[in-house]
Structure 1
């Protein structure tokens, strides 16, 4: 019934029980297909649950809706060089998600890592002059997030501050030219905190017909800003790198300052993020999951927009945008957009 899965398990046995990255990616795609078409839910289902599956598929505008089941699936490094598992993050505990987890564990025994993370939400103090990455920033309609980095945007001679759409554009409600403040409105200490204007925001796509990849926006910084800015603070990051097995990362954020973490999963698809009343629950694909080191959280509310980066050598990895209620050992998980599509969609390069 599942020739692909049988072939994959045979390949692992022939490679000393290691699942290579290409095999993990293929298996992940097969699981996602089965999840989105209802095959995983239909496994050992009775008449009632099959009827639920059929109603969902009929009601869906797309045959493979990216928002199926509250179960996100990605790549989880095992800690052994060149060996990977399928990472499963459960965001809602109900009979359907339990059935999916049981199914995945049965068809790929010993090859799945399951974590309950709960609901995932976007993350939201003083005046900082010169302006540097890691400080509070925000649109007048939001509380406060983090200035992640400075970028050079095609067609503009001024430097731009990079953060999230939900920080700089108030989750699609802002329009180009809106004032941007540092610190963000929640942290206002003086009346004169405007540093520039909203320039570009990548639209967040509601519903489940299309998955989002990035939550990103830029502020064009006023070139006459008193005190200027220091794009190179503190690590001088101008290169980018992809998330990979064993990669240690850092971030500097408005709330938790500088923290250390490691890549928990990458290429995570079907991730539900709850944007509240403004947009509801959005689906994200190809995301990065990060866990803090030494039992400390990697981020907290207000750290949204932080640049996630490696240190040796310094290179940008992702743009932090959300966090979970819980995770492995009760520790919340942080989520970041991969940096390459962020820069591509805002037509920018890192500046330092």
Structure 2
């Protein structure tokens, strides 16, 4: 049996039993395999009902082809061993093996890339995209945008919860500073308090099968100490642009851009719209006193995310870009896509903002001190 034939058969088998996650359907849609050639029983297929298969792949190890079924959640060891034994027995003599693994979640921590240009200025005011952080801890992220409350008309600042909210552990009133403390150095020795931590969005742990994750969002808000310190412009120089107030119509293949603390202005493409629970693993320490701290460590599921890959050699984002406002990249005016909550050399995750802002009665604003 040819390798590609067996791979197609595994996908077809997963589709038959409705155990393939939506994210894997894109890989399977163009395949036409024979599910009857897969030896697993209906009881064995049921192992994946709540775990969901997110990817099926094959690799060569010498003369042996290893097929890997990656699941969203772990499957008990004895069940994994039973699947592998059944597979090996059915294809005995064909030099094939099966492994069942759990797909490791995307990780967010306080590791950031080295100091680049931590503060962007426009008309001598601090622009969005600049480095910021909590005033009592050594971190750095990105200033997302300015927003106005629909009822009070109060102007607020926005970034990620894990940047300025300490993953729900920062005390109300904690100073928000530019640049983030991690970026303070002899070359960047001026620290500006731009706001005071006010509130966060929901960011709760719990499996989506037993907990309503609909409101989960990695976002925090702070009151401005002096709005004359800031501008709604994103970045600086000839490529700067004002924060948009309208939302883009999202589609796969859409080109996007962002200004961030670590990688400046980058462009990318939305390669996947994740419309099912996606997990991100956090490991963040928040200091709420000179000798007191609290660790937020665990997995948070989000109901929808956009996966973005870079256009070009450099990655779309890096550590320290968390909080960057991602917008559409077209000839006309940019429109809101979402907030960047994490990235690595291969991909970045962007959280949609429309429902989050609506829930908190906020509108992103442009035209501030431009």
**What TM-score, normalized to structure 1?**
0.65
The answer to whether the 8 A contact 2:119-2:126 is kept is no
**CA separation in 2, counterparts of 1:97 and 1:271?**
23
Q: What is the Cα deviation at residue 154 of structure 1?
A: 3.0
Q: Secondary structure at the match of 1:297?
A: coil
Name the CA shift for 1:266/1:131 in 2 (closer, same or farther; >3 Å).
same
Partner of residue 130, structure 1: 125
Partner of residue 214, structure 1: 217
Partner of residue 241, structure 2: 235
Q: Which has the larger radius of gyration?
A: 2
Q: Is structure 2 residue 317 aligned with structure 1 residue 299? A: yes
Once the two structures are overlaid, the 10-residue window that deviates more, 150-159 or 338-347, is: 150-159
Q: Is structure 2 residue 106 aligned with structure 1 residue 120? A: yes
Partner of residue 261, structure 1: 268
The answer to whether the 8 A contact 1:148-1:305 is kept is yes
Of the three residues 287, 295, 314, the one matched with 2:305 is 287
Q: Is structure 2 residue 359 aligned with structure 1 residue 345? A: yes
| Structure ranking higher in helix proportion | 1
Superposed CA deviations along residues 43-65 of structure 1, whole A, max 9, x for unmatched, are 92698x689x49xx9xxxxxx6x
Once the two structures are overlaid, the 10-residue window that deviates more, 118-127 or 267-276, is: 118-127
Q: Secondary structure at the match of 2:134?
A: coil
Name the CA shift for 1:294/1:175 in 2 (closer, same or farther; >3 Å).
same
Q: Which runs of 5+ in 2 are unaligned?
A: 1-11, 29-38, 56-68, 84-101, 113-117, 235-239, 284-294
**CA separation in 1, counterparts of 2:182 and 2:24?**
45
Once the two structures are overlaid, the 10-residue window that deviates more, 210-219 or 332-341, is: 210-219
Q: CA RMSD in A?
A: 4.2
Superposed CA deviations along residues 125-178 of structure 1, whole A, max 9, x for unmatched, are 248551211100112335111011111123444422211111110001013322
Partner of residue 113, structure 1: none
Partner of residue 156, structure 2: 160
Name the CA shift for 1:166/1:263 in 2 (closer, same or farther; >3 Å).
same
Superposed CA deviations along residues 200-235 of structure 1, whole A, max 9, x for unmatched, are 31021112123254211112211265xx32213432
Name the CA shift for 1:292/1:27 in 2 (closer, same or farther; >3 Å).
closer
Name the CA shift for 1:246/1:288 in 2 (closer, same or farther; >3 Å).
same
Partner of residue 35, structure 2: none
Partner of residue 63, structure 2: none
Once the two structures are overlaid, the 10-residue window that deviates more, 309-318 or 190-199, is: 190-199
**What TM-score, normalized to structure 2?**
0.62
Partner of residue 193, structure 1: 192
Partner of residue 252, structure 1: 259
Partner of residue 223, structure 1: 226
| Structure ranking higher in strand proportion | 2
**CA separation in 2, counterparts of 1:221 and 1:205?**
26
Superposed CA deviations along residues 277-312 of structure 1, whole A, max 9, x for unmatched, are 513111112111000012431100000000110132
Partner of residue 334, structure 1: 348
Q: Which runs of 5+ in 1 are unaligned?
A: 9-23, 32-42, 58-63, 73-87, 100-115, 325-330
**CA separation in 2, counterparts of 1:257 and 1:127?**
9
Partner of residue 339, structure 2: 319
Name the CA shift for 1:345/1:224 in 2 (closer, same or farther; >3 Å).
closer
The answer to whether the 8 A contact 1:164-1:216 is kept is yes
**CA separation in 2, counterparts of 1:296 and 1:90?**
30
Name the CA shift for 1:46/1:335 in 2 (closer, same or farther; >3 Å).
same
The answer to whether the 8 A contact 1:127-1:182 is kept is no
